[in-house]
Amino acid sequence: MADGAIFAKKPELALAQHKFAVFNGTPEQRTEALQKLSDGIKQDKMVDFYAQLVNEGVFENDAALAKELEAGSTAQLAELDKNYAEAKEEHGDLEQNESSIHRAVFFAQIGAEDRAHAAYEEVLQRPTTTLNQKLDIVFGKLRLGLFAYNPQIIQKEIERAHELVNKGGDWDRRNRLKAIECIWHCSQRQFKEASDLFIECLSTFASPELMSMAEFVCHGALACAVVMTRADIKKKVLDAPEVVEVMGAIPAVERMLRSLYECNYASFFVALADVETQHLRVSRYLFAHRRYFTREMRIRAYAQLLESYLSLTLKSMAESFGVSQEFIDSELSRFVAAGRLHCVIDKVGGIVVTNRPDTKNAQYQRTVNQGDLLLNRIQKLAGIVSM
């Protein structure tokens, strides 16, 4: 128990992901998710979580199953209460705290969120609780927040975990916190922060209780796709040994990144659609950003192609992406009007003319404006001093 691994595994976050897939996945994904939810609930005697799913319409009420889960969880709680009583009579503070943490973990396991938070907090406030135990408790509360997807709790516990880690947390706990933060930043559309943490902890990822290595690589690689340069995507993501090892489990992500790097835009569009269906739509952390992600990736691909030409025809551009000229015309018009692409569309001639921004002139104008602002402030200050 000293390493905190036992405390970090409940509730199973995969079950929250399966629940999400029931509502947002394809029919095949929904069927698979329902079966895995049922198996997980029975295995962990998740009486409270089962009741929640019945109320939400995921399952029809099964009185016999509910009774079985209630009996199993009651027996397990009685055993934990007995262990705590023995620890209180026969052992010291360390063992008593560990028994209490196990009891809080049990409440988390069955889906009794409020009781779990209260039990964790009670142990956390004890003067006899060690630093590592406090960290294990905070990770447990963080896990509860992730399971229920409660942003307030997640942010609060991440900040609390940082405070404790800075007081002397070990390498394992520091690394686990980085992995959690990476996924949290993904869920908040903070892809730059997520990509930095992903690269930092990729080679030392050891948090299977958070998600599998393939799932972690999927989220991290998608974050990198939005913010990294083409060269960095190749060097830090596609060629990373840890990524190469699991890419077979997420082929759509690999095809999207590789086709973008190799400028195979028709393949890129197909892969992007697969990424949306297979990953973005069923990820609790990325679902809300699926339209943003696909839009940004399309803009990135258009800009990458346009950078290579002074001008090109709408027909050739449409052929490059494997779409119709009408679609390309509509897409480019929208993104040009929004200032996201620097080109001009000649509809009469059917030509797209690139219009690269003059960065040097922009820097000069910015410097002049800042200089004028500084001179105005100096003049005001001089006037005050002379008075």
128-137, 189-198, 204-213: which has the highest mean pLDDT? 189-198
Spatial contact of 50 and 62, defined as CB atoms under 8 Å apart: no
pLDDT given at position 4: 42
- Check residues 381 and 155 and name the one with the higher pLDDT: 155
Environment class of 385 (CB within 10 Å of its CB; exposed 0-12, middle 13-18, buried 19+): exposed
279 token code pair: 């990953």
What is the helix (H) or strand (E) element at residue 77, kind and residue range?
helix 63-90
Report residue 147's pLDDT band, with 50, 70 and 90 as the boundaries.
very high
Q: CB–CB of 178/165 below 8 Å? A: no
Rounded to 5 degrees, φ, ψ at 343 are -160, 170
Helices 93-110, 131-148: crossing angle, 10 deg rounding: 10
pLDDT of 262 over the 70 cut:
yes
Give the integer Cα–Cα distance in Å for 6 and 161: 18
Going 260 to 262 to 265 to 268, the CA torsion angle's sign is: negative
**What pLDDT, on the 0 to 100 scale, is given for residue 265?**
95
Average pLDDT over residues 15-36: 92
CA distance 326 to 320: 14
For range 53-57, the mean pLDDT: 93
Query: How far is the C-alpha of 245 from the C-alpha of 253, rounded, in Å?
Result: 13
Range with the lowest mean pLDDT among 58-72, 82-96, 231-245, 267-281?
82-96
- The mean pLDDT of the chain is 89
Burial classification of residue 57, based on how many CB atoms lie within 10 Å of its CB (0-12 exposed, 13-18 middle, 19 or more buried): exposed
Residue written as tokens 């000069």?
Answer: 364
Contact between 343 and 353 under an 8 Å Cβ cutoff? The reply is yes
Confidence at 322, pLDDT banded by 50, 70, 90: very high
**What pLDDT sits at residue 87?**
82
Q: What is the pLDDT of residue 13?
A: 92
pLDDT at 349: 87
Question: What is the structure's pLDDT at 357?
Answer: 64
pLDDT for 321: 94
Backbone angles phi, psi at 125, to 5 degrees: -85, -5
Q: How confident is the model at residue 378 (pLDDT cuts 50, 70, 90)?
A: confident
**Does residue 358 carry a pLDDT above 70?**
no
pLDDT band at 270 (very low <50, low <70, confident <90, very high): very high
In this structure, which amino acid lies at residue 275?
V
> How many other β-carbons are positioned within 10 Å of the β-carbon of residue 259?
19
- What gap in Å lies between CA 12 and CA 44, rounded to an integer? 9
Query: Is 50 exceeded by the pLDDT of residue 237?
Result: yes
